[in-house]
Amino acid sequence: MALGLLYRIYERNLRRGLDVERLPRHIGVVLDGHRRHAREEGLASYTESYRAGMARFEQFLGWANEFQIPAITAWVLSKENLSRPIEELDPYFDVLIELFERLPEECREFDMSIRVIGSLDLLPDHLVAAAKTAEQTRRVGARRLNVAMGYGGRQEIVDAAKDLVEGLVEEGVPALEVSSHITADSLAAHMYSADIPDPDLLIRTSGESRLSGFLLWQSAYSEFVFVDVNWPAFRHVDFLRALRDYTGRARRFGK
């Protein structure tokens, strides 16, 4: 009881200490550590950990809603993850489908639209269908949730370059002039989520101190917070600490 009371007091003090004028407009989060969590907690299967992780993600959306964070991008499945054994992937695909069935109602409550980004052509048809149904159900919202699935940062840049060049060709730009139209701004306009600001804050759980290509182009001036706990064990207080760290930093954008 005493520990619970102290936790609530600490949590309240963290929240009160935040400078709401400096909160991030866009948070990227890497939901990492499901398998490690299962092993460390002695769970019967990875599926239990996957479900706990998705439940925690839904809580995370509620935490972000408390501060009206305009945009969230969550990396739930990397392109590299797809090389894992199918006996690991299939249960996770099933859990993601369950998530997509719940997300529209939750995003309606939070006034969020849903967009799924990544190499969806590499994913099972039934998973893509569930993702697209969720996306179509919540096309409109004052705020945005991006779910990155089958996503790779390098692939996003490659796709943006292809889209840009193909568009220039369709416009009739001569081949010798194409390169002059390729700029940082023109390429940025073809990224998966070019219509929202670049992420201000990127959070990764499980103690890994790298981004593994997450939002590779967009994260040039992002602030990073690496958290030791695995994603299913990520707490509200961990989120508040990440916001505290972010709001306490002086952002210089390379200047």
String of DSSP letters for 103-123: HHHHHHHTTEEEEEES-GGGS
Q: Residue 46's closest CA among 93, 106, 11?
A: 93
CA gap 184, 254 in Å, rounded: 16
Does the annotation count 146 as an active-site position? no
Catalytic residue among 32, 146, 200, 230: 32
CA gap 161, 154 in Å, rounded: 11
CA gap 106, 113 in Å, rounded: 10
The alpha carbon of residue 195 and the mean position of all alpha carbons in its chain are separated, in whole angstroms, by 16
Residue 227, Cβ neighbours under 10 Å: how many? 23
Instruction: Give 171-229 as a 3 state SS string.
Output: CCCCHHHHHHHCCHHHHHCCCCCCCCCCCCEEEECCCCCCCCCCCCCCCCCCEEEECCC
Does the annotation count 32 as an active-site position? yes
8 Å CB contact between 246 and 64: no
Q: Which helix (H) or strand (E) holds 29?
A: strand 26-30
As given in the structure block, the two tokens for residue 119 are 């190499």
Say which DSSP state 83 is in: G
Catalytic residue among 65, 81, 159, 238: 81
Catalytically active residues, by annotation: 32, 81
